[in-house]
Amino acid sequence: MDMKKLLLQAVGHEQAAFELYDRLAKKIKNAEGAAMFANLAKDETGHRVKLEEWWRRKFAEPLTIGPRDAATAEAIEIDTQAGAVDALELALEREKSSATLYESLAASAVDPDLRRLCQALSEQEWGHFATIRAEIAAVTGDFYWLDIDYASHVED
């Protein structure tokens, strides 16, 4: 696949991620959860804008993205019965997918500016991944073993 097609894919990916997170932010009643997804949506818009700016500097043609990828369909399927972990796991997969896409773009980019941009975007997506994974751990109580006072269970 040529670089233009990969960039178009990345821009579409960012738009779809924005749509997913924006939709989740509007559906979630928990203020902290809604704020986290709203912040993710804002970040994904920033990523898309950076890619679009790079495109405008390098190509003399308009950037037009095609049909959205699977995130749009996934967002539609999220309903009020979906739990926090379901929403977070969906976001976790989205961030992993984005990070690996940017790693791939960086590895194949000939242009050093594009390589740096894709490396930076990959790092940001992995940062989102880590944040979401920590949220899942907090929601599911995976840190429980760190909170137990084990000494109280030990006999003298």
**How far apart are alpha carbons 109 and 122 in whole angstroms?**
13
In this structure, is residue 136 part of a structural domain? yes
Q: What is the CATH number of the domain that holds 44?
A: 1.20.1260.10
- In this predicted structure, what is the pLDDT of residue 80? 52
What is the tens place of the pLDDT at every residue in 127-144?
999 999 988 888 887 655
Count of domains in the chain? 1
In this structure, is residue 154 part of a structural domain? no
- In this predicted structure, what is the pLDDT of residue 68? 56
CB proximity list for 128: less than 8 A, separation 6 or greater: 40, 43, 91, 95, 98
Locus of tokens 């994904």: 44
In this structure, is residue 107 part of a structural domain? yes
pLDDT tens across the length of the chain (156 residues): 577 888 888 898 899 899 889 988 998 888 888 899 999 999 999 999 999 998 988 888 888 776 554 444 454 455 555 577 888 898 999 999 999 999 999 998 888 988 999 999 999 999 999 999 988 888 887 655 444 454 444 444
- In this predicted structure, what is the pLDDT of residue 111? 87
Q: What does pTM read for this prediction?
A: 0.78
Structure tokens given for 58: 């390098």
**How far apart are alpha carbons 124 and 103 in whole angstroms?**
11
Structure tokens given for 80: 């009020």
In this structure, is residue 153 part of a structural domain? no
CB proximity list for 121: less than 8 A, separation 6 or greater: 47, 50, 51, 98, 102
The boundaries of the domain holding residue 55 are 3-146
